[in-house]
């Protein structure tokens, strides 16, 4: 089965249709809304598989289908679909994970009153996300990008009656919008410079040699190549959406949304959109690599941001106690990994990690959702514990996810994708700092995941809710199991020995593998680091489980200062509130004050001036002008009285006068010598 | 030329007699004849449509209104004798009218007019309609409004008082 | 040959006259009649749309009649893509605003008649091609607007109405003087003719012949009149009180249609007739427009009265239009200016006018609903949790909000994108600064939604009935168009594109 | 079109002999005379023919009317003179001619004499423009419709003359009633056929008939009566024509229970006969007009019936309309004066004006086809029926107090 | 001097005009005064037709149209004038023109 590129729009259109159905379904129509969403998603999955088949048949080609959106001046604004292995792999991943999460949601949100609306929003999200993936135009991508943000906003604020959820939704939207403005500016710049926003357009697209050559050739402020500047602006969008430093603050708050939402949007798909975006415009980002005299290369910035984020996220995750926040910061960290990979030049490694991460992070989130659901919405790991016994399936799958994330060697997909990134970082000739950051993050990741599993599943229940937890129904466990299987197997698509996925992404039809132990040193090092992380985590949390919910954290006991800083997430939120928030308020006050006290005052002053003039004028009128008029009028009236005597009231007389006058006139004219 | 003379006769004589008669009804009827003569003049001049319009309006409508007015105002207070100033006024009227006539005749006769002997290109009804609806649309509309207003005004003026029914409006 | 444009302009006035004469009609009949006549614009506008040939860039369906031949004044109407878009907007907004005012109990006859008068005057402004009666329509529109605000407005409506009228008339007075000077110099008041003179420089020569500073003074006069009407920042202080105090229907019309009269004037008068002066003044004006964009948005954030907030958002949105125009004028003749960017800026301006009309009207309507339901309260913090009680209302209002903040997929995005596209190509730094406005817009609109609709159910929301079908009715066309234009902007773009291409092509580009 | 006024148009060669014989006959007779006199002779023949034929029709009609009224009132009617009373008109004529001509002493003798003559003259004048058959138009005028009504307008004058000259208060009252009635009904009468002029685009009778040529679907004639507005106009025309010809139920000027015999009170003998004749002529002329305007003139109703000569079709239609008039006279009671005027001013005139709008709609939508055609019909019928119902309701509501101004 | 048909027409209309004028000047009955005015109006119409008929451009039909409008105005004038007469009569039981001078200033 294969899907021609012209029909690619079907993939996002089906969930959109489902969203439309969902929006019109009354609250009682639960089966219809969820059924439509799941069926649409499943069909989209099948179609995506077809698209993948098409793409794999000619992996090097960028199949496009472009069309005019609306006329603009002499030309038109054009949009289009694009099918290449990157799109196809992402589509398959999104639709597959999406389908499973949809199914999981039917169980998770079973009791919610707004069940139909939830599926409407989910479908909307899926449609936008898929649209983003198949877009062959930065504009279309941006449109879907924003719609994805809208869906995220709606879903984070799904429980809008909770003020924290409403605030988190707003925060997410505004924060990502800050990044989006960068993306918008980059897009505008790109459009202005190249006259097109199509990625591939038979040689005319912005990612093709002609346009890139032009962009690289120009320089702009600070000596940057235009392509660098545009690339960095576009990267701003990715920073916002993918929760990168310094705009990562929204992602943890976004956990206010229902857990399936966290799994789908804030772990597997939407947050990865930033990575996807950079990968998609990779030709543009890397266009300046050949330039020697520029102050900075775009990818260097990407690598730096990625490295910082990877480390930062991992550090903060160590001290969080909310099960979902730990996972959220883990996501931030892992996205930093991907950015790092992009920055160091291996976008295929980034996408490989994106795909594997999507599965195991979705697995972890759904697992945590399963736990939360079972524990009656208790999310604090300090109050959980001992769930290994009652929730076997959840525990088993969660452990698989944890091992994949931690990078337990050989069997788990996360290991292979992470290795690919570390290798790429190792091979980067600009700096090795990213590599060191990555290695540090490896230890931390293994550590905090071990902590999470140990606190949640081992020991004994530390609260009423945890002790009553029991395994969930099949509708929730089956997706977990499927995802767990994938989390294991997916790694074998891209082992160094047979890097099939990487080859296909890069457009090769044949695969050139090399022995696994070629870069054995780094490999061994990372295995050791994983072992250290797990071992220390187990040592601190597994061997002596926490006694009760209020007990001190082992690290907190030893390094209270550090732990406090980490728990407070390095104080980013406070910092922003103190700077950006203040500035914002001040700006608003300034604007309002300008209106009230400057412009309005000026208007009032003018009005007063006018009133004063009126008073003066009236005085002058009454004395000077009116007096003169009265005198004249009296005289006129007297004259008029004497003339009015001629009016007799007799019609005959008038007529007679007219006739006589006429005769006289004619006589004057005739006797006076003609006309 | 004969036709014109006959028409002049039919027009002028009844008009003159009508102005002289004491019986207003007879005057009105004679005037109708005079108007018909004018219609004949129009016909003679080739303005066929105008001739019919003249008949329709003057003979059919205005004359009716006149007769009605005469009948409604029969019992005038001074129906009896001749008012004292009548003779003087009549003389003055004749005098002034005669003067106007003389002046007009003089003016007409002393003016050399072109001998326009070219036969009238009869204006067809269709052509007239086209003219009316295209070049003179606004005038047509104004006349329509004028007639409506005049009708309403006449009804209001002639209606005796508010109590009587609508048929009194006539 | 039916005088289509005259019909468009005067049919509402006929309706107003009928209402004025029809004493003792029932309120239902009055409203029905008013609605019927206000719908006439839409119907006739659609007829014009069906006969309209976008490829012809000169005004179509032209009507020219001599009027005051002594002054060389002609009654001249014409319709091009720009006018058509605005006529359609008026045709949509007025009936909607009338339906929104359906429950206006006090003297429905006068209210409806004034509304129809206002509609006719606005249409006259959009269709007139001669300054003389253009100005008559322009000023006539103030009269009904004044009474609508003063008689049906809120507690401090009188002051707002006076401020509105005096401020606007003050501006128009300067414009009138400017055009008197123009007439003295050129002997014509015909826009097209004046545009011709403006383009080939005749105007400056003739004005300059009177006195050296005349061209600039005349330009400033015309600018002032239009700037107050739009309003350009900082000539906007009449706007928040006027919009806030006006009754809901009038607010809808004021923001959706009357504010467009100003922008239309900029496009139709100032830009073609004074190209050189505008070019000289544009860098300065660009700052003012940016001020409107940024300060308007930030000031909105500060407001606690929802109507004032929406009013400031209108200020912000309208200044985008001016921003594009000024950027275009400033960049004319500069290196690097492309006709593609110019076309984008102009298209964006026109689309933004239409889009803002839809979204601002919808927002005012929603605030009006809130006000009606809560017994006159419209504070930002008076509500909370309304979405729980009224999901349909929340959804529709949310669509309007997101349309206003320029969410892609809804209409607002297309116009704003094109404006930014154009401005970026013409004055990149201005686009960058204006982005702040976008951000602030998102911030305060989301604050609006969050405070009113989200959170725990408040006291007002506790017994807040959802919209009835008759209340949804006025919103439906607006919301529907938001979606349609967001997905299929070609519908409007094809009407204006040839015109815009022509304008962009005529610019003196390097 | 005819080049020479006053003569029958030249017949087309395609027509049958039956169709052409009147013209052939006239041309043959005129051919005996010198050329300058030919048009005069031709006109005279036409005039004679018309007077003779319609004189005969008048005679037959009096009998027909009496017979039919008799039938309606369940009595035999005249049946003594000749077989089935067929010779009754002749007997009546002889009686009328031999009666004494009485003129009241105080009457205005001249006007008293002129009134019947003028009335008859004007009645006969109207016949000049009616097309009695294909090419059988006595006078081809461009503004024939206008002529018809101009000539018709003069009849009012004659009635007034009769009433006033009699110096009889009943006569005068009747004259005033007649004037009020005639003026009132002149308006709907004129308005009723304005749509036809509007759609036909001509004031010429021939032109109007030409516009009604052809058949829809092959069997429905394109007569104006077969359109919604045309039907309404026909109905208005019929009512107004009844009133214009002083026929029952609008025969108030001669309401015998109130005004003895109205303006005819002081007339007897031959003058009375002239009045009588003029009234019938007026009725016939109006019927002819109705036929021309609404019923396709002399055209056959179905395509295969075209072989029957056109003047026979005209005659058939005329007979039908006259029978209708008689039938109405036998059926409806007389109206009161206020009812009469109210019907005209409050019902017929607005209805006719609405009908004008309907016709305008019809004309504007002439391009509609297919399903739109159905919509066109629906809207037009609605435009006719709705005002009819609404105005009719207003007519019957709140009967005015009985004020008898002219009684 | 040659008497053209146009001369004859003009003489006819002048005569008619003067008859009307004399009537209007000398009769005391308002109705007859009105009728005199009507005659004057008709005389003017005659002139229009005469000049149209013998004018340089009879095809234009302007004269006919003018007379048409004039007739319409005359009809309106007659209706209103006679209504005024009736109104005056109702007020002072007289239609003598010289009696109707109550509104003199």
Q: Which residues of E touch A642 (CB under 8 A)?
A: none
In a mutational test of the A interface, the residue from C308, C386, C435, C498 whose CB has the highest number of chain A CBs within 10 Å is C435
| Predicted pLDDT of residue A602 | 86
C-alpha–C-alpha distance, residues B69 and E84, integer Å: 10
Find residue A83's DSSP bridge partners. Answer: A63
Please state, in angstroms and as integers, the Cα–Cα distance from residue C42 to each residue in A401, C12, C89, C91, D156, following that order. Answer: 61, 11, 8, 4, 52
Confidence band of B166 (pLDDT split at 50, 70, 90): very low
Residue-wise pLDDT tens digits, A360-396: 888 888 888 888 888 877 788 778 777 777 888 888 8
Neighbour tally for A287: CB within 10 Å: 26
- D358 domain residue, yes or no: no
| pLDDT band, very low/low/confident/very high, at B167 (cuts 50, 70, 90) | very low
D297-308: average pLDDT: 78
Total count of domains within chain D: 2
Across chain D, mean pLDDT equals: 80
Between D395 and A94, residue with greater pLDDT: A94
Residues of B with a Cβ under 8 Å from any A Cβ are 89, 92-93, 96-97, 99-100, 103-104, 106-107, 110
Tell me whether residues B106 and A662 touch, CB distance under 8 A. Answer: no
Contact between residue C171 and residue C224 where contact means Cβ atoms under 8 Å apart: yes
Nearest Cα neighbor of D124 from D152, D150, D159 is D152
Is the predicted pLDDT of residue A276 greater than 80, yes or no? yes
Q: Please give the pLDDT value at position D20.
A: 76
Residues in B touching D244 (Cβ below 8 Å): none
3-state secondary structure of A650: coil
Find the mean pLDDT for residues A552-580: 80
Pull the structure tokens for residue A590.
């300034």
Residue D11 clears pLDDT 50, i.e. is over it:
no
Q: What are the extents of the domains in chain E? A: 5-99
- Looking at beta carbons, which residues of chain B come within 8 Å of D171? none
Does C435 sit within 8 Å of A181, measured CB to CB?
Answer: yes
List, for residues A583-628, the tens digit of each pLDDT value. 888 888 888 888 888 888 888 888 888 888 888 888 887 777 777 7
Identify all chain C residues contacting A191, using CB atoms and an 8 Å cutoff: 421, 424
Asked whether residue D21 falls in the same domain as residue D73, the answer is yes
Q: Strand D220-221 to strand D215-216: parallel, antiparallel, or no bridges (unpaired)?
A: antiparallel
Residue-range definition of the domain harbouring residue D84: 14-95
Q: Cβ of C36 under 8 Å from any chain A Cβ?
A: no
Do the chains contact at C431 and A70, CB–CB below 8 Å? Answer: no
Question: Who has greater pLDDT, A222 or C346?
Answer: C346
Are residues A75 and C340, on separate chains, in Cβ contact within 8 Å? yes
Report pLDDT for A347: 85
Q: Residue C179: which of C122, C143, C138, C239 has the closest Cα?
A: C138
A648 contacts on E by Cβ (under 8 Å):
101, 104
* Cα gap A109→D201, rounded to integer Å: 76
B39: nearest CA partner in chain D: D150
In what helix (H) or strand (E) does residue D111 lie, and over which residues does it extend? Answer: helix D109-126
Q: Please state the rounded mean pLDDT for residues A122-145.
A: 89
DSSP helix/strand/coil, A495: coil
Q: Which chain E residues contact residue A646 at CB under 8 A? A: none
Residue C61 pLDDT: 84
Buried b (16+ CB within 10 A) or exposed e, A262-276: bbbbbbbbbbbbbbb
| C501–A contact, CB cutoff 8 A | yes
Q: What is the mean pLDDT of chain B?
A: 78
Neighbours of A668 (CB within 10 A): 10
Pairwise CB contact (< 8 Å): A663 & B100? yes
User: A440 with A532: CB under 8 angstroms?
Assistant: no
* Domain-embedded: residue D127: yes
Q: How close does chain C come to A382, measured CA to CA in Å?
A: 28
Counting every residue, how long is chain B?
170
Distance to chain A for E73, nearest Cα, Å? 20
Q: Which residue from A minimizes the CA distance to B103?
A: A663
Using an 8 Å CB-CB cutoff, list chain E residues near B64.
none
The residue in chain B having the minimum alpha-carbon distance to the alpha carbon of residue A662 is B100
C236/A185 Cβ within 8 A: no
Domain closes at, from D346, D361, D378? D346
Does chain E reach chain C with at least 3 CB pairs under 8 Å? no
Ranges under pLDDT 70 in chain E: 1-2, 57-59, 103-105
Cβ–Cβ below 8 Å for C493 and A72 = yes
pLDDT at D9: 40
pLDDT tens digits for A474-529? Answer: 778 888 888 888 888 887 777 776 777 777 777 777 777 666 656 677 778 888 88
Task: Give the gap in angstroms from C-alpha B51 to the nearest C-alpha of chain E.
Answer: 10
Q: How far is CA D146 from CA A290, A470, A511, D153, D379, in A?
A: 96, 102, 101, 10, 31
Contact between chains at B47 and E16 (C-beta distance less than 8 A): no
Q: What is the pLDDT of residue A464?
A: 78
Query: Looking at the predicted complex, does its ipTM rise above 0.95?
Result: no
Interface test with B, best of D3, D142, D200 (most B CBs within 10 A): D142
Give chain E's end-to-end CA distance (angstroms, integer).
Answer: 51
Are A659 and E98 a contacting pair at CB < 8 A?
no
Cβ contacts of A659 on chain B, cutoff 8 Å: 96-97, 99-100
Nearest CB to B96; choose among A659, A666, A670: A659
Architecture per CATH, E5-99: Orthogonal Bundle (1.10)
CA dihedral C126, C337, C231, C316 (to 10 degrees): 110
Are B53 and D150 inside 8 Å of each other by CB?
yes
Contact A659 B100 (CB under 8 A): yes
Interface of A with E in 627-646 (CB under 8 A): 644
Helices A115-134 and A30-57: crossing angle in degrees, nearest 10, is: 10
Inter-chain Cβ pairs, chain B and chain D, closer than 8 A: 86
pLDDT of residue B64: 82
* D107 & D29 share domain: no
Task: Name which of B46, B60, B62, B126 to mutate to probe chain D: the one with the most chain D Cβ atoms within 10 A of its Cβ.
Answer: B60
Asked whether at least 3 C-beta pairs link B and E within 8 Å, the reply is yes
Q: Which of B99, E37, E99, B83 is nearest to A655 (CA)?
A: E37
Q: Which of D43, D65, D95 is the last residue of a domain?
A: D95
In a domain, D1, yes or no: no
Is B158 in Cβ contact with E42 (below 8 Å)?
no
| Contacts with A174 from chain C: Cβ below 8 Å | 439, 442-443, 446
Average of pLDDT values for D10-28? 67
Q: Which residue of B has its CA nearest to E28?
A: B86
| Interface contact B96-A666, CB threshold 8 A | no
Tell me the Ramachandran region of residue D15: left when phi exceeds 0, alpha when psi lies from -120 to 50, beta otherwise. beta
Mean pLDDT of A569-581: 82
Confidence category of residue B165, pLDDT binned at 50, 70, 90: very low
- Chain E adjacent subunits, 3+ CB pairs under 8 A: A, B
The residue of chain C nearest to residue A174, with distances taken between CA atoms, is: C443
Average confidence (pLDDT) over B55-61: 83
From chain A, pick out residues whose CB is under 8 angstroms from the CB of C494.
Answer: 70-71
Residue D45's pLDDT is 85
Interface test with B, best of A656, A664, A675 (most B CBs within 10 A): A656
pLDDT of D7 reads: 38
User: Which of D64, D95, D126 is the last residue before a domain boundary?
Assistant: D95
> At residue B79, does pLDDT exceed 50?
no
For residue B29, pLDDT over 70 is answered with yes
- For chain C, residues with pLDDT lower than 70 are 1, 508-510
pLDDT of E104 reads 67
Contacts of C162 in chain A (CB under 8 A): none
Residues 123-182 of C with CB under 8 A from A: 163, 166-167
Q: For residue E105, which residues of chain A lie inside 8 Å, CB to CB?
A: 644, 647, 649
Q: Find the CB nearest A160 among C344, C417, C454.
A: C454
With bands split at pLDDT 50, 70 and 90, how would you rate the model's confidence at A325? confident
The stretch A16-44 carries a mean pLDDT of 86
């Amino acid at each position: 089965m294969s899907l021609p590129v012209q029909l690619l729009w079907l993939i996002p259109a089906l969930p959109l249709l489902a969203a439309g159905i969902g929006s019109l379904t009354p609250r009682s129509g639960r089966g219809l809304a969820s059924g439509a969403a799941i069926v649409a998603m499943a069909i989209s999955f099948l179609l995506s598989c077809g698209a993948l088949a098409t793409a794999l048949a000619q992996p090097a080609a960028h199949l496009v289908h472009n069309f005019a959106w609306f006329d603009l001046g002499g030309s038109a604004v054009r949009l289009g679909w694009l099918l290449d292995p990157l799109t196809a792999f992402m589509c398959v991943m999104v639709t597959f994970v999406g389908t499973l999460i949809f199914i999981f949601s039917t169980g998770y949100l079973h009791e919610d009153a707004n069940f139909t609306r939830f599926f409407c929003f989910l479908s909307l999200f899926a449609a936008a996300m898929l649209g983003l993936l198949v877009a062959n135009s930065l504009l279309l991508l941006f449109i879907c990008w924003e719609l994805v943000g809208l869906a995220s906003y709606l879903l984070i604020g799904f429980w809008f009656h909770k003020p924290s959820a409403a605030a988190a939704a707003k925060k997410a939207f505004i924060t990502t919008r800050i990044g989006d403005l960068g993306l918008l500016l980059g897009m505008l710049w790109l459009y202005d410079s190249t006259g097109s926003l199509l990625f591939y357009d038979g040689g005319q697209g912005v990612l093709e040699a002609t346009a890139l050559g032009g962009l690289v050739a120009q320089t702009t402020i600070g000596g940057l190549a235009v392509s660098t500047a545009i690339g960095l602006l576009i990267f701003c969008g990715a920073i916002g959406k993918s929760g990168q430093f310094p705009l990562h603050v929204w992602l943890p708050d976004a956990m206010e949304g229902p857990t399936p939402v966290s799994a789908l949007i804030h772990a597997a798909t939407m947050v990865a959109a930033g990575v996807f975006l950079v990968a998609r415009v990779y030709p543009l980002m890397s266009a300046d690599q050949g330039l020697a005299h520029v102050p900075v290369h775009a990818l260097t910035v990407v690598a730096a941001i990625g490295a910082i984020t990877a480390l930062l996220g991992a550090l903060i995750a160590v001290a969080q106690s909310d099960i979902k926040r730990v996972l959220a910061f883990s996501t931030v960290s892992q996205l930093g990994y991907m950015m790092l990979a992009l920055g160091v030049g291996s976008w295929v490694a980034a996408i490989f990690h994106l795909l594997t991460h999507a599965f195991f992070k979705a697995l972890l989130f759904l697992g945590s959702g399963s736990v939360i659901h079972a524990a009656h919405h208790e999310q604090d790991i300090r109050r959980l514990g001992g769930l290994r016994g009652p929730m076997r399936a959840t525990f088993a799958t969660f452990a698989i996810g944890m091992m994949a994330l931690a990078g337990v060697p050989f069997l788990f997909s996360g290991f292979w994708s992470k290795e690919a990134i570390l290798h790429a970082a190792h091979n980067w000739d600009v700096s090795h700092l990213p590599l060191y950051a990555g290695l540090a993050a490896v230890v931390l990741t293994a550590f905090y995941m071990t902590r999470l599993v140990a606190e949640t599943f081992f020991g004994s229940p530390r609260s009423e809710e945890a002790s009553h937890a029991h395994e969930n129904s099949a509708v929730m466990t089956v997706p977990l199991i499927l995802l767990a299987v994938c989390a294991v197997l997916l790694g074998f698509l891209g082992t160094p020995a047979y890097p099939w996925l990487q080859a296909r992404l890069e457009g090769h039809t044949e695969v050139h593998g090399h022995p696994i132990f070629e870069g054995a040193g780094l490999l061994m090092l990372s295995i050791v680091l994983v072992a250290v992380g797990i071992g220390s985590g187990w040592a601190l949390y597994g061997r002596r489980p926490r006694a009760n919910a209020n007990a001190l954290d082992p690290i907190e006991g030893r390094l209270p200062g550090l732990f406090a800083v980490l728990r407070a997430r390095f104080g980013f939120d406070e910092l922003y509130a103190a700077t950006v928030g203040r500035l914002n308020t001040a700006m608003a006050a300034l604007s309002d004050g300008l209106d009230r006290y400057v412009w309005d005052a000026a208007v009032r002053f003018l009005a007063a001036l006018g009133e004063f003039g009126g008073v003066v004028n009236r005085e002058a009128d009454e004395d000077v002008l009116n007096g003169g008029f009265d005198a004249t009028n009296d005289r006129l009236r007297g004259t008029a009285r004497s003339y009015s005597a001629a009016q007799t009231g007799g019609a005959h007389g008038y007529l007679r006068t007219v006739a006589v006058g006429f005769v006289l006139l004619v006589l004057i004219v005739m006797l006076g010598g003609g006309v | 030329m004969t036709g014109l003379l006959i028409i002049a006769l039919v027009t002028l004589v009844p008009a003159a007699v009508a102005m002289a008669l004491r019986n207003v009804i007879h005057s009105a009827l004679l005037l109708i004849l005079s108007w018909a003569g004018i219609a004949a003049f129009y016909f003679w001049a080739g303005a066929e449509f105008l001739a019919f319009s003249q008949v329709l309006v003057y003979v059919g409508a205005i004359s009716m209104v006149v007769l009605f007015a005469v009948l409604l105002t029969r019992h005038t207070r001074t129906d009896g004798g001749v008012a004292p100033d009548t003779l003087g006024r009549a003389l003055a009227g004749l005098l002034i009218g005669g003067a106007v006539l003389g002046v007009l005749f003089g003016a007409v006769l002393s003016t050399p007019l072109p001998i326009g002997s070219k036969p009238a290109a009869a204006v067809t009804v269709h052509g007239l309609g086209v003219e009316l609806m295209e070049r003179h649309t606004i005038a047509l509309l104004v006349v329509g409004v004028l007639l409506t207003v005049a009708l309403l005004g006449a009804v209001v003026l002639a209606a005796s008082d508010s109590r009587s029914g609508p048929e009194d409006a006539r | 040959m039916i005088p289509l444009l005259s019909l468009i302009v005067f049919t509402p006035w006929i309706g107003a006259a009928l209402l004025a004469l029809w004493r003792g009609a029932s309120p239902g009949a009055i409203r029905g009649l008013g609605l019927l006549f206000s719908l006439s614009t839409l119907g006739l506008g659609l007829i014009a749309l069906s006969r309209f040939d976008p490829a012809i860039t000169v005004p179509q369906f032209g009507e020219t009649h001599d009027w005051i031949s002594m002054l060389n004044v002609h009654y001249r109407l014409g319709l091009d893509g720009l006018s058509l878009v605005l006529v359609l907007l008026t045709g949509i907004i007025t009936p909607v605003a009338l339906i929104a005012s359906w429950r206006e109990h006090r003297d429905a006859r006068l209210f409806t008649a004034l509304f129809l008068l206002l509609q006719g005057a606005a249409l006259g402004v959009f269709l007139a091609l001669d300054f003389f009666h253009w100005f008559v329509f322009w000023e006539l529109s103030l009269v009904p607007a004044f009474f609508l605000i003063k008689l049906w407005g809120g507690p401090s409506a009188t002051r707002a109405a006076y401020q509105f009228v005096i401020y606007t008339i003050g501006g128009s007075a300067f414009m009138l003087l400017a055009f008197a000077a123009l007439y003295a110099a050129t002997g014509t008041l015909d826009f097209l003719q004046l545009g011709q003179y403006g383009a080939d420089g005749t105007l400056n020569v003739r004005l300059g012949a009177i006195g050296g500073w005349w061209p600039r003074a005349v330009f400033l006069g015309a600018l002032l009149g239009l700037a107050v009407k739009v309003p350009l920042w900082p000539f906007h202080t009449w706007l928040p009180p006027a919009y806030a105090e006006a009754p809901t229907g009038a607010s809808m019309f004021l923001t959706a249609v009357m504010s467009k009269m100003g922008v239309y004037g900029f496009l139709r008068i100032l830009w073609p007739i004074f190209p050189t002066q505008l070019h000289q003044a544009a860098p300065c004006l660009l700052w003012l427009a940016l001020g409107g964009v940024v300060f308007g948005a930030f000031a909105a954030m500060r407001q606690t009265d929802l109507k004032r907030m929406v009013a400031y958002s209108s200020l912000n949105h309208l200044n985008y239009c001016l921003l594009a125009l000024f950027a275009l004028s400033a960049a004319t003749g500069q290196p690097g200016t492309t006709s593609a960017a110019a076309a984008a800026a102009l298209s964006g301006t026109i689309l933004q006018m239409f889009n803002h009309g839809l979204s601002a009207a919808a927002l005012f309507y929603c605030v009006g609903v809130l006000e009606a339901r809560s017994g006159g309260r419209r504070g930002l913090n008076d509500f909370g949790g309304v979405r729980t009680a009224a999901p349909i209302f929340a959804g529709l209002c949310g669509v309007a909000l997101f349309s206003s903040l320029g969410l892609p997929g809804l209409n607002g995005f297309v116009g704003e994108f094109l404006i930014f596209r154009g401005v970026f190509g013409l004055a990149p730094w201005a686009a960058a600064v204006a982005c702040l406005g976008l951000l602030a817009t998102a911030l305060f609109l989301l604050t609006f939604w969050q405070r009113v609709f989200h959170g725990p159910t408040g006291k007002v929301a506790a017994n807040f009935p959802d919209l009835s079908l008759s209340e949804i009715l006025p919103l439906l066309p607006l919301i529907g168009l938001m979606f349609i234009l967001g997905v299929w902007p070609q519908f409007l773009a094809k009407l204006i594109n040839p015109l815009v291409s022509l304008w962009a092509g005529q610019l003196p580009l390097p | 079109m005819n080049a020479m006024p006053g003569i029958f148009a030249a017949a087309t060669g395609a027509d049958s002999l039956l169709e052409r014989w009147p013209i052939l006959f006239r041309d043959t007779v005129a051919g005996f005379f010198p050329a300058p006199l030919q048009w005069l002779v031709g006109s005279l023949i036409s005039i004679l023919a018309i007077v003779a034929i319609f004189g005969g029709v008048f005679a037959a009609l009096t009998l027909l009317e009496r017979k039919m009224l008799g039938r309606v009132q369940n009595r035999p009617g005249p049946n003594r003179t000749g077989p089935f009373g067929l010779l009754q008109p002749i007997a009546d004529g002889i009686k009328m001619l031999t009666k004494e001509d009485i003129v009241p002493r105080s009457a205005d003798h001249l006007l008293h004499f002129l009134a019947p003559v003028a009335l008859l003259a004007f009645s006969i004048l109207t016949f000049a423009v009616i097309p009695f058959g294909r090419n059988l138009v006595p006078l081809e005028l461009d503004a024939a419709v206008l002529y018809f009504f101009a000539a018709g307008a003069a009849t009012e004058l004659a009635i007034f003359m009769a009433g006033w000259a009699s110096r009889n208060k009943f006569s005068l009252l009747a004259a005033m009633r007649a004037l009020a009635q005639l003026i009132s009904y002149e308006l709907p009468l004129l308005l009723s056929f304005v749509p036809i002029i509007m759609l036909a685009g001509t004031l010429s009778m021939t032109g109007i008939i030409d516009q009604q040529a052809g058949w829809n679907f092959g069997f429905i004639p394109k007569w104006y009566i077969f359109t919604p507005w045309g039907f309404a106009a026909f109905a208005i025309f019929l009512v107004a024509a009844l009133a214009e010809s002083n026929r029952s139920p609008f025969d108030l000027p001669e309401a015998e229970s109130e005004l003895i015999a109205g303006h005819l009170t002081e007339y007897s003998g031959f003058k009375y006969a002239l009045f009588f004749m003029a009234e019938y002529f007026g009725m016939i002329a109006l019927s002819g007009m109705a036929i021309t305007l609404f019923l396709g003139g002399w055209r056959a109703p179905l395509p295969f019936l075209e072989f029957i000569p056109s003047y026979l079709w005209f005659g058939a239609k005329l007979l039908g309309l006259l029978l209708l008039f008689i039938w109405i006279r036998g059926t409806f009671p007389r109206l009161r004066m206020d009812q009469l005027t109210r019907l005209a001013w409050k019902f017929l005139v607005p209805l006719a004006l609405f009908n004008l709008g309907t016709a305008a709609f019809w004309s504007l939508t002439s391009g509609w086809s297919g399903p739109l055609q159905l919509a066109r019909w629906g809207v037009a019928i609605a435009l006719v029926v709705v005002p009819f119902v609404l105005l009719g309701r207003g007519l019957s509501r709140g009967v005015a107090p009985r004020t008898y101004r002219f009684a | 001097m040659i008497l053209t048909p146009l001369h004859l027409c003009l003489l006819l209309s002048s005569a008619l005009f003067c008859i009307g004028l004399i009537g209007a000047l000398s009769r005391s009955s308002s109705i007859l005064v009105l009728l005199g005015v009507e005659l004057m109006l008709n005389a003017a119409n005659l002139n229009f037709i005469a000049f149209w008929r013998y004018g340089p451009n009879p095809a234009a039909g302007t004269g006919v149209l003018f007379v048409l409008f004039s007739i319409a105005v005359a009809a309106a004038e007659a209706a209103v004038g006679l209504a005024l007469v009736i109104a005056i009569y109702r007020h002072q039981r007289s239609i003598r023109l010289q009696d109707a001078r109550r509104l003199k200033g």
